[in-house]
Structure 1
Amino acid sequence: MALARPADPRASARRDGAAALVVTAAAVALVGVVAGAGAVPALVAGVLGLAVVGAVVRSTTHRRAEPYGPADRVTVARSVLVAVAAALLPLGLAPVLGEAAARPSAAWCWALFAVALPAWLLDGLDGWVARRTGTATSAGARFDQEVDAVLILVLAVAVAARLGLPGAWWVLVIGALRYLFLLGLRLRPGWRRPLPYSSYRRTTAGIQGGTLLGALVPLIPLPLATAAVAVALALLVVSFGRDTVWLERRARGLS
């Protein structure tokens, strides 16, 4: 009796990617209709949402060294939620950008919170699946980190708008630090080495999403939200500072 051939990981990645694109496009279109968005905000929303999922699909389908596995499927599903959250940004920010000292509506904050919360809560699920199935890969871990980084960037933009732009521009640093660090790796090749495990780094990373989500809730007073986000940013700056110092010392051959 012939044994069934195992599924082709690349075929699975393409199939999941196509499904993610379709679901994202449908969700973004529905959100635009329900929100009654104008043509320009709706177009920008569609571009942002599909750009996030498009980057995810490209990452998974072009992977060569390590196979696409069940944990990656969970991350792709999370990326759809992140893409919808990204698509919501222009729908809520359009009125804010047109008026001085304006803030997004409470309904928009709740909508973004409702989409981003499950994306944040499901963050540990892909890692758990990878461990349970014995399919953990470094590519999958990086994939998960990049989806997390996009979610934090989206939340940082939303919270900055709720706290009041341009005064709350500093909140954007929370979302930008990851990408500034990656830029540093390109400019300083000596930093390109694995970082040692750090419980402080792991805890601080988890704090960012929870704090930004809490600050987005309309029931939280603005002064309290501002203070909480400021503390989260300070912790994050220390975390990146510690890692940067460690990498620089190793790059210079110092102990």
Structure 2
Amino acid sequence: MPLARSARSRPSARRDGLMAFLVLTAVVAAIALVADVAPSVPAVSGLLGLAVLGPVVRSTTGRRGEPYGPADRITVGRSVLVAVCAALLPVGLLPMLEQDAGRPADAWCWAVVAVALPAWLLDGVDGWVARRTGTATRAGARFDQEVDAALLLVLSLAVAARLGLPGAWWVVLIGALRYLFLLGLRVRPAWNRELPFSSYRRVVAAVQGGVLLGALAPLIPWWLAVAATAAALGLLLVSFGRDVLWLERSARGRS
């Protein structure tokens, strides 16, 4: 049965979007007031938070033809948490780079973990809610995927810092691979088609966030964090490689 568009859908999306921006503003203000950082850090924090939250709010408030439902509200909440994580990045990274301190403080690592953990744990809850309430939409599924991708990118940057930059630059590939694939679509439009279901792809994707959160936790030994992150990246590269090969073979079969 097709979903009926609610007349209250767009006002609800706007209200949630406004609340999301207010939360991010409060976090940036707290960084400016509490954190012992240069005045430029809160400004960069605000820009990074907006880079995550802006597209999310624009996507929900500008949606046409599909309703904004309870599952979308959960995803917006997750996006706020991811935006807060993004806003925390300059607090740990910029002072570290300026002072050549090597690695960020343990307190900063724990702060990012504390915010990112519920965002990761809630992944899948929005989909479950959408199915239970009969409000699943394609726009909502894409929305959820983009929030997942943003979370992985933020966590990979944080873990790379914890493991030691610039040597641990390779960790950022975990978060960057999806965006590199999207860039590849511009060069190879034939890849723009739906992939077949893959249990391997789903499991590997689900593992990435947990591995990055564990690697960011200061109580995990450095060598174990490096080994686990490298293994996760290897699995992800295999997953992307399999998908690209399938897309190439499919494109050649249609030509």
Please classify the TM superposition score into its range, dividing by the shorter chain length: over 0.9
* Percent of paired sites with the same residue: 71
Q: After the TM superposition, which parts of structure 1 deviate over 2 Å for at least 4 consecutive aligned residues?
A: 5-8, 31-34
Distance 2:31 2:7 in 1: 35
Q: Which residue of 1 aligns with 2:73?
A: 73
- Residue segments in structure 1 that go unaligned for 5+ positions in a row: none
Name the SS for the 2:233 alignment partner: helix
Structure-to-structure mapping, 1:10-29, within 5 angstroms: 10-29=10-29
Distance 2:28 2:170 in 1: 29
Compared with structure 1, are the counterparts of its residues 250 and 65 closer, same or farther at alpha carbon in structure 2 (3 Å cutoff)? farther
- Residue segments in structure 2 that go unaligned for 5+ positions in a row: none
Compared with structure 1, are the counterparts of its residues 161 and 41 closer, same or farther at alpha carbon in structure 2 (3 Å cutoff)? same
Is the CA contact (8 Å cut-off) linking 2:201 and 2:239 kept in structure 1? yes
Q: Which residue of 1 aligns with 2:235?
A: 235
Match of 1:174, as an amino acid?
A: I
Compared with structure 1, are the counterparts of its residues 65 and 183 closer, same or farther at alpha carbon in structure 2 (3 Å cutoff)? farther
Distance 2:214 2:6 in 1: 44
Name the SS for the 1:68 alignment partner: coil
Distance 1:59 1:43 in 2: 24
Q: Which residue of 2 aligns with 1:205?
A: 205
Name the SS for the 2:194 alignment partner: coil
Distance 2:38 2:79 in 1: 25
Is the CA contact (8 Å cut-off) linking 1:153 and 1:174 kept in structure 2? yes
Q: TM-score, normalised by structure 1?
A: 0.95
Distance 2:80 2:185 in 1: 28
Distance 2:252 2:214 in 1: 41
Distance 1:32 1:112 in 2: 17
Q: TM-score, normalised by structure 2?
A: 0.95
1:106-151 Cα shifts (integer Å, max 9, x gaps)? 0000000000001100111100110110111111111000001000
1:154-180 Cα shifts (integer Å, max 9, x gaps)? 000000000000000000100100001
Query: Is residue 48 of structure 2 the alignment partner of residue 48 of structure 1?
Result: yes
How far does residue 37 in structure 1 lie from its aligned partner after superposition?
2.5
Match of 1:172, as an amino acid?
A: V
> How many correspondences in the alignment?
251
Structure-to-structure mapping, 1:127-146, within 5 angstroms: 127-146=127-146
